[in-house]
């Protein structure tokens, strides 16, 4: 016989998932409502409005897609791409290649603009590549969790808009932790998720897009055959499940029956967003920035180095160089087993060379910062690393006491 699950308590300081907010978890245990129950439709309508606030947008369209953040990225790209369309993807970390993987499967012609992962691009370098390649779409990552670097977007967005190109941006790692201004930055489609700074379990992608994108969706709209045999379209979007033209109508007053909604997830999203907005977005950003400063101070005090440029590091992820001669995975395992603290390794060429500490959402708390620094110092001390002992927490506290 199987036993009831017993889930251990952890301090999660990874770049996602993070600790879910208790208010969101309580909401997710509420009774199930039918997806067209008036009470649930009101929740959906409030979620639509709340999603817009961390994005910094007045777009009419903003809603959730059932699936992890990746479902939103795929929905956004396949909504715009037709076979043979040219897509430029600037790469300064792992997740730009995910955008390329999606575009490749949509039969786009892809051009990668690649650089070392230690810093984002100068915007003029991207603009020059756009001018040379002449794509239909520019797809970028705002904050790369693989290396903790964050890309400036305003000039690139303006250039795309002036030249009638579509600008699609992955904001999964920055939404709710960093100020976003997608209208000012001329971003056409922005995508985020629940499992990072929104502090809700993984399972929904958040998306918003403007009238330029709506026009494309309307031109590609095809109603599901079981609902109507009349609205057919030779140029329909290739996925039914991730068809933004149908999902938009599901989340609008039209309420077409697209799929059975993940009601409990929407409850959690509502409360995760509400808690952010109730705290005040400026206060949320200040909290993340302060805890980021404390983490940096603690890591420096230990004598550890950072991967990449600190000047372009995002506040929500800190990449730390693993000291020479230290097995990074043994350190992570000891932190988890003995301190109940989880941090992350990295990907590709950074695997085994870099740890990443997340500073996101409900996990971004002073108590967590002090705990992760204590655990990291204790594990490094156990394995004989040459660090300054007893300095990390003291340095972090000095930041908090200012």
Alpha-carbon gap, residue 72 to 207, rounded angstroms: 6
Alpha-carbon gap, residue 338 to 331, rounded angstroms: 10
Query: Does residue 38 sit within a domain?
Result: yes
Bridging pattern class, strands 354-358 and 317-321: antiparallel
Alpha-carbon gap, residue 75 to 68, rounded angstroms: 11
pLDDT over threshold 80, residue 160: yes
Is residue 273 located within the same domain as residue 201? yes
pLDDT of residue 300: 98
pLDDT of residue 235: 82
pLDDT of residue 227: 73
Bridging pattern class, strands 109-114 and 189-193: unpaired
Is residue 310 located within the same domain as residue 256? no
Of the chain, the percentage scoring pLDDT greater than 90 comes to 93
- Cα within 13 Å of Cα(355), Cβ side: 25
Is residue 190 located within the same domain as residue 254? yes
Q: Please, are residues 191 and 157 in contact by the beta-carbon 8 Å criterion?
A: no
Is residue 268 located within the same domain as residue 285? no
Residue 320: helix, strand or coil by DSSP?
Answer: strand
User: What is the average pLDDT across 360-382?
Assistant: 98
Q: How many residues does the chain have?
A: 402
Bridging pattern class, strands 204-209 and 61-66: antiparallel
Alpha-carbon gap, residue 379 to 217, rounded angstroms: 52
Backbone phi, then psi, for 11, in 5-degree steps? -95, 110
- Average model confidence (pLDDT) across the chain: 96
pLDDT over threshold 80, residue 225: no
Domain end marker among 237, 252, 277: 277
Q: Please, are residues 315 and 359 in contact by the beta-carbon 8 Å criterion?
A: yes
DSSP assignment letter at 311:
G
pLDDT of residue 247: 96
User: What is the average pLDDT across 129-158?
Assistant: 98
What is the span of the domain harbouring residue 110? 21-277
Is residue 271 located within the same domain as residue 336? no
Domain count, the chain: 2
pLDDT band of residue 129 (cuts 50, 70, 90) is: very high
User: What is the average pLDDT across 214-240?
Assistant: 86
Is residue 140 located within the same domain as residue 221? yes
Query: Does residue 11 sit within a domain?
Result: no
Q: Please, are residues 98 and 123 in contact by the beta-carbon 8 Å criterion?
A: no
115-138 b/e with 16+ CB inside 10 Å = b? eebbbbbebeebbebbeeeebbbb
Alpha-carbon gap, residue 51 to 232, rounded angstroms: 31
CATH code for the domain in which residue 59 is found = 3.40.640.10
pLDDT digits (tens, 9 = 90+) for 161-173: 999 999 999 999 9
pLDDT of residue 215: 98
To 5 degrees, how large is the angle CA 395–CA 398–CA 402?
155
Query: Does residue 6 sit within a domain?
Result: no
Is residue 103 located within the same domain as residue 50? yes
Residue 222: helix, strand or coil by DSSP?
Answer: coil
pLDDT over threshold 90, residue 378: yes
Alpha-carbon gap, residue 313 to 174, rounded angstroms: 11
Rg of the chain on CA atoms, in Å:
22
pLDDT of residue 1: 86
Q: Please, are residues 216 and 290 in contact by the beta-carbon 8 Å criterion?
A: no
Domain end marker among 254, 277, 300: 277
Domain end marker among 249, 277, 305: 277
Alpha-carbon gap, residue 68 to 205, rounded angstroms: 5
User: What is the average pLDDT across 349-361?
Assistant: 96
pLDDT digits (tens, 9 = 90+) for 304-352: 999 999 999 999 999 999 999 999 999 999 999 999 999 999 988 899 9
Q: Is 10 part of any known ligand binding site?
A: no
Distances from the Cα of 182 to the Cα of 12, 44, 261, angstroms: 29, 22, 27
Query: pTM above the 0.75 mark?
Result: yes
Of the chain, the percentage scoring pLDDT greater than 70 comes to 100
pLDDT digits (tens, 9 = 90+) for 8-62: 999 999 999 999 999 999 999 999 999 999 999 999 999 999 999 999 999 999 9
Alpha-carbon gap, residue 324 to 102, rounded angstroms: 37
CATH code for the domain in which residue 358 is found = 3.90.1150.10
User: What is the average pLDDT across 285-292?
Assistant: 98
Query: Does residue 116 sit within a domain?
Result: yes
Alpha-carbon gap, residue 346 to 339, rounded angstroms: 21
């Amino acid at each position: 016989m199987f036993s009831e699950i017993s889930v251990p308590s952890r301090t999660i300081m990874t770049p996602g998932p993070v600790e879910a907010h208790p208010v969101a978890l309580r909401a997710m245990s509420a009774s199930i409502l039918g997806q067209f129950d008036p009470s649930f439709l009101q929740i959906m309508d409030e979620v639509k409005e709340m999603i817009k606030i961390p994005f910094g947008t007045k777009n009419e369209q903003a809603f959730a897609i059932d699936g992890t953040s990746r479902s939103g990225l795929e929905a956004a790209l396949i909504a715009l791409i037709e076979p043979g369309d040219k897509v430029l993807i600037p790469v300064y970390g792992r997740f730009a290649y995910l955008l390329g993987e999606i575009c490749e499967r949509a039969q786009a012609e892809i051009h990668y603009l690649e650089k070392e992962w230690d810093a984002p691009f100068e915007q003029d370098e991207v603009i020059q590549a756009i001018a040379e390649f002449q794509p239909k779409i520019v797809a970028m990552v705002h904050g790369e969790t693989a290396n903790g670097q964050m890309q400036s977007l305003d000039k690139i967005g303006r250039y795309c808009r002036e030249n009638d190109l579509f600008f699609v941006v992955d904001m999964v790692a920055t939404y709710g932790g960093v100020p976003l201004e997608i209208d000012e930055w001329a971003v056409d489609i922005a995508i985020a998720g629940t499992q990072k700074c929104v502090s809700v379990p993984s399972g929904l992608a958040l998306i918003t897009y403007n009238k330029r994108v709506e026009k494309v969706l309307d031109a590609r709209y095809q109603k599901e055959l079981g609902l109507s045999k009349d609205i057919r379209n030779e140029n329909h979007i290739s996925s039914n499940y991730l068809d933004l033209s149908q999902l938009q109508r599901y989340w609008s007053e039209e309420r077409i029956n697209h799929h059975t909604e993940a009601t409990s997830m929407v409850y959690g999203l509502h409360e995760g967003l509400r808690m952010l907005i109730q705290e005040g977005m400026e206060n949320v950003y200040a909290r993340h920035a302060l805890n980021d400063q404390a983490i940096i101070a603690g890591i420096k005090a230990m004598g550890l180095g950072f991967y990449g440029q600190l000047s372009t590091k995002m506040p929500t992820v800190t990449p730390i160089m693993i000291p020479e001669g230290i097995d990074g995975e043994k350190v992570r395992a000891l932190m988890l087993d003995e301190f109940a603290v989880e941090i992350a390794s990295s990907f590709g060429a950074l695997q085994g060379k870099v740890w990443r500490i997340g500073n996101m959402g409900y996990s971004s708390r002073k108590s967590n910062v002090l705990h992760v620094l204590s655990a990291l110092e204790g594990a490094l001390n156990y394995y004989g690393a040459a660090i300054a002992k007893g300095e990390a927490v003291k340095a972090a506290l000095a930041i908090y006491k200012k």
